[in-house]
Amino acid sequence: MSDPGGPQERHFGPVWFIPGGNRGRYPYSNSVYVEGPGILIDAGADPERIRSLREGPGIREVWLSHWHEDHLKGLPLLEDLPFRQMACEAGPLADIETFMDWYGFSQSYRDYWRGELAAAFGFRPRRAAGYFAPDEVIDLGVCTVEIIPTPGHTPGHLAFHFREPSVLFMGDYDLTRFGPWYGDRDSDLGALIESTERLRRIPARVRLASHEDGVFEGDVDALFDSYLKVIDAREGKLLDFLAEPRTMEEIVGRCIVYRKPREPREFFEFGERAIMGKHVERLLADGTIVAEGDRYRIA
């Protein structure tokens, strides 16, 4: 059942917003259902609602916006159904060690995540029945959908623009106060910013997203601005901290992303290290900071 205090199911013609558990927050994600063709986009929604959708009006195929585990959580309920994704992201779904490689987990994190992925997310090796082509347009009968590549969050992240009802599912470009996630091995800050701006320019009447409230109508320019400003805010705090030389361990301990130490350490400490690592890489590349041994400081 959906959380009475969280986001509620909404229908926009044939395109249905299906809320995730935990108010749409990790380890769940919101899903989108297309009535008629019976397509479920992402499988992170409330498990009971996924079961009831299977019973009627029916789920015939699963589409994935990207490879992260909170979007796969309900796949064990849909094992007999075909799914589609971007071909460039087939690797992590086919092998758990490759999955962890794509995150960039060090050995100190891998034992925890190997068990967590199996127990909490039902991970098993999977192969897609088909793959999307960037910018392809698919006629679903009830509407047409444009497959929009939005790399940055992950290399093959997709958004879905349902043209006739004017509904855009933005996936993990979720406009939350937390801001963007770019902590994977292959996340790209520059591409993420470009993809966010591309999504902003699409003239959709309704925007749907994978986490928290997940439904946005009307003028959302201010939300896009606030979302992108989180990147600058994180970087500004990092630069303030680097007024004195600091190690990466000290940067992680500063908790710029999550504000305080949190459990499980293997999740939050990894995220802190990964996201701050992207900022360190960017600042080193443009000469704003320099490395002195194992320490970083403002140039």
- Residue whose C-alpha is closest to residue 91's, from 44, 125, 43, 131: 125
Q: 133 is written with which tokens?
A: 């082509």
Q: What is the pTM of this model?
A: 0.96
Tens digits of residue pLDDT in 162-203: 999 999 999 999 999 999 999 999 999 999 999 999 999 999
Tens digits of residue pLDDT in 40-63: 999 999 999 999 999 999 999 999
List 149's β-bridge partners, or say none: 158
In the prediction, which pLDDT does 16 show? 98
Domain boundaries, the chain: 10-218, 234-298
Distance, in Å, from the CA atom of 105 to the CA atom of 45, rounded to the nearest integer, reads 26
| Tokens 């047409």 belong to residue | 144
- Is pLDDT above 70 for 95? yes
| 80 contacts: CB under 8 Å, gap ≥ 6 | none
In the prediction, which pLDDT does 7 show? 86
Tens digits of residue pLDDT in 120-129: 999 999 999 9
Distance, in Å, from the CA atom of 164 to the CA atom of 170, rounded to the nearest integer, reads 17
DSSP per-residue letters across 236-276: HHHHHHTTS-EEHHHHHHT-TTTSS--SSHHHHHHHHHHHH
The CATH superfamily holding the domain 10-218 is Ribonuclease Z/Hydroxyacylglutathione hydrolase-like (3.60.15.10)
Tens digits of residue pLDDT in 207-233: 999 999 999 999 999 999 999 999 999
| Tokens 């793959």 belong to residue | 131
DSSP per-residue letters across 56-114: TT---EEE-S---GGGTTTGGGGTTS-EEEEGGGHHHHH-HHHHHHHHT--HHHHHHHH
In the prediction, which pLDDT does 228 show? 98
Q: Please answer whether residues 37 and 61 qualify as being in contact, where contact means their C-beta atoms are separated by less than 8 angstroms.
A: yes
